[in-house]
Amino acid sequence: MKVIAIDGHPREEELVAYVSDTLAEPDALRLEAHVFECPVCSARLERAARFEVLLHDAAAAMEAAPRAPAVAPTRRPWH
């Protein structure tokens, strides 16, 4: 996977893969080196990490929330 895009910064997909720990180790090392030197990408990585936490928390909350029983809709005449 190509980590550094044409403009010299990692693509969003690579940041997300890094945060979710699915980026290959050599690519992760290159991304880390770039983020260490680049404040713009450091901020982008921080946002991606916060977003990942929010998604995880939302999924956990949805799983834990009580579910209302399914109710068949009733048909009533409208006239």
User: Is residue 46 within 8 Å of 53, Cβ to Cβ?
Assistant: no
Helix-strand-coil split of the chain, %, nearest 5: 60, 5, 40
**Structure confidence at residue 79 (pLDDT):** 66
Dig out the tokens for 78 from the structure. 């409208």
Provide the residue-wise pLDDT of the chain in tens; the chain has 79 residues.
555 565 789 999 999 999 999 999 999 999 999 999 999 999 999 999 999 988 887 888 788 777 777 777 777 777 6
**Structure confidence at residue 55 (pLDDT):** 84
- pTM given for the model: 0.66
Dig out the tokens for 10 from the structure. 């990692």
Beta-carbon-side half-sphere exposure of residue 44 (alpha carbons within 13 Å): 20
